[in-house]
Structure 1
Amino acid sequence: MSKALSHAKIVPRRSTERGHADHGWLNSYHTFSFAGYYDPKFQNFGSLRVLNEDRVAGGSGFPTHPHRDAEIFSYILNGELTHRDSMIKKGSEGTQGDDFFRMKRNDVQFTTGGRGIAHSEQNESDEEVHFLQIWALPWSRGLTPRYHTKTFSEEAKRSAFLPILSPLKAGPGASEAEEKAAEPTLENTIPIHADFVMGAGIIGVDKRFKWTVGADAVKKTTGRNVYIHVPMTKNGNAKIRLDGREDAVIGEGDGAFVSNVNAGDVLSFESIGEAEAEVVVLDSD
């Protein structure tokens, strides 16, 4: 199978090379420098700043803590994670909403840290929760803090890459009203304050998916940075091949830096393992 994107540079990031910390209650792998893990070669990729694959034991979690000037989102793979705003007390949450959400598989919780917020993320169940924690650098500082929560269809993710996040349609110059309206560039996605698109797919064995760089949603059309990640969900049995390249085969926990690509380029994904592969695409400026 020949390379479809001969101009693209694809560099795998192996799972075993990631930063790793096991605190007992938290088992975390870091693709980029984070907390106690520092590597000057892995600081960010475009506006993608953090990609942690976390497992949190039942009855544990992250107590109330602050964030600012980062776009932060959690993609739940398995188990349950409860997000609470610092102003909401346990037992008085009311209905599910942007401030409080008991997240399960296929849910995404998104936070604009902006001028500063505080929240907690706790596993209030008895079972382990497995999720991706991802941060992107926003296009401006001092934004109004905001939460979004949304559930994405597993069935849709099995047929093609499903867009999860896309840029706020109003762009960096958004008015207060446009910020409040929070309209994303792509329908049925969560708006992010960055020239950034996230997609997710579940590729069946021997099946192929395609990702169109930029997803017709971005301003920067040349020299985009696309990071691919395969979460550890199938006991090591999932594997994909990118762009038909034998040197771009990645398994669970692995990722790949795809650079020197432009909006409209089509990147192919082929599932070549013994189990379906869940794949996350992080497409940034």
Structure 2
Amino acid sequence: MTTPLRTAMSTTLRHAKITPHRSAARGHADHGWLDTYHSFSFAGWYNPRFTQFGALRVLNEDRVKPNSGFPTHPHRDFEIFSYILSGELTHDDSTQPKKTKNKDGAQDAQEAGECLFGAMKRGDVQFTTAGTGVTHSEFNRGREWVHFLQIWAIPWKKGLPPRYARVRFSDEDKRKGFVRLLSPLKGGVDATAAQEKAAEPTVPGTIAIHADFVMAAGIIEPGNKFEWVVGGQATDATKRKVYVHLPMTKGGRAKIKLDGREEDGVLSEGDGAFVDGVNAGDKLVVESVGDAEAEVVILDTA
């Protein structure tokens, strides 16, 4: 559970270690059509300090130019999800039925080049279990650059059946407190075929992920505080790790403070923080201390 807080609060997680991951320390590549920042080692950028954090393996903050995108390419044995911040992104993949033609040659699905899913917009979270193997593409068919987070988690086992899901989460709810977006699949690592097919998450209304992993997001007005309950009330694992990310959405005007800490706990846009040594049920306070509302992403893992 999460609740907004408006009263002054001192440090409550004295046992936790909070280590900032500054934006300038991220990998960065500008390909013209793609401007991308890597919080963890990815593609041609490698840093031994940033390889993974619990089940969290990839956190890329991407901007893609209109009429550009990632052509069809393969993945396997990762849980892959995107969080749309602005613009629109069109996704297609091999988990879905393909377009066919009737006897007259007319297509009975959408025209060629269009996605069966439709364009994803702000608030959408798309999720793919790559499992035994999928191919997918992501294109910006809109008129403005699309800005989104692409995140990968390591599943609790390989060879899972591929699956796709998509849910939209409202800004209105995110302004009330942290909203849980993903939570572990019911049945866990030993889930039955029926549980896999049902894809029921531990937390109702979220997307089920094959990992001890919870994702949440909140939009915090300047001067306000939200509280994240470690574990998201979705896991029995006591020892946890939390990664906090502040996307670059307000031209540098957003800023947050973690656990009331004045130095290592203050993050600017593009920064992240490793919160280690915490337990399920601990309360992490996130305060908006900038001049603009802060959109904060929480990635909570065993």
Q: What CA deviation, in whole Å up to 9, does each residue of 1:157-187 have, x standing for no partner? A: 0010000000001111111111010000001
Q: Which moved more, 1:1-10 or 1:17-26?
A: 1-10
Shift of 1:218: 1.2
**What SS is found at the alignment partner of 1:214?**
coil
**What residue number does 1:271 align with?**
288
Query: Does the residue aligned with 1:166 lie in a helix, a strand or coil?
Result: strand
| Structure 1 residues 89 and 36: CA distance shift in structure 2, 3 A | farther
Q: 1:74 aligns with which of 56, 66, 82?
A: 82
Q: Secondary structure at the match of 1:35?
A: coil
**Deviation digits for residues 181-236 of structure 1, max 9, x if unmatched?**
000000100000000000000000100000000011113212x1100000000000
* 1:244 to 2:224 alignment: no
Decide which structure has the larger Cα Rg and report it. 2
Verify the 8 A CA contact 1:85 1:100 in the aligned structure 2. Answer: no
1:7 maps to: 15
* Secondary structure in structure 2 of the residue aligned to 1:100: coil
Q: For 2:235 and 2:71, locate their aligned partners in 1 and report how far apart those are by CA, in whole Å.
A: 35
Indicate yes or no: 2:137 matched with 1:120: yes
Q: Could you say which residue in structure 1 is the equivalent of 2:29?
A: 21
3-state SS of paired residue (2:85)? strand
Q: 1:101–1:149: 8 Å Cα contact kept in structure 2?
A: no
Distance in 1 (CA, whole Å) between partners of 2:118 and 2:22 is 33
| 2:60 aligned with 1:52 | yes
User: Offset at 1:251?
Assistant: 0.9
Q: 1:218 to 1:101 in 2, by over 3 A?
A: farther
Q: Which TM-score applies when normalising by structure 2?
A: 0.90
1:63 CA drift (Å): 0.6
Question: What does residue 278 of structure 2 align with?
Answer: 261
Partner of 2:301: 284
Segments of 5+ residues of structure 2 without an aligned counterpart are 1-8, 101-106
Amino acid at match of 1:177: A
Aligned to 1:155: 172
Q: Deviations over 1:86-138 (max 9, x none)?
A: 464598349xxx96241000000000000000111110112100000000000
Which among 249, 259, 266 is matched to residue 233 of structure 1? Answer: 249
Asked if structure 2 preserves the Cα contact closer than 8 Å seen for 1:195 and 1:219, the reply is no
Equivalences, count: 281
Q: 2:218 aligns with which of 183, 193, 201?
A: 201
Structure 1 Cα separation of the partners of residues 251 and 98 of structure 2:
37
Q: Give the aligned partner of residue 231 of structure 2.
A: 214
Task: State the 1:2 CA deviation.
Answer: 3.1
| Cα distance in 2 for residues equivalent to 1:93 and 1:198 | 33
Q: Secondary structure at the match of 1:237?
A: coil
Q: What is the rounded CA distance, in whole Å, between the counterparts of 1:154 and 1:2 in structure 2?
A: 28
Corresponding position of 2:42: 34
Q: Distance in 2 between matches of 1:176 and 1:77?
A: 34
Residues in 1 aligned to 2:217 and 2:244: alpha-carbon distance in whole angstroms = 10
Letter in 2 for 1:234: K
Q: What is the RMSD of the two structures over their aligned residues, measured on CA atoms?
A: 1.5
| Counterpart residue number, 1:136 | 153
Structure 2 distance, partners of 1:41, 1:259, is 15
Shift of 1:27: 0.2
CA distances 1:50-69 after superposition (whole Å, capped 9, x unpaired): 00000000000001111100
Gaps of 5+ in 1: none
Is 1:205–1:271's contact at 8 Å kept on the other side of the alignment? Answer: yes
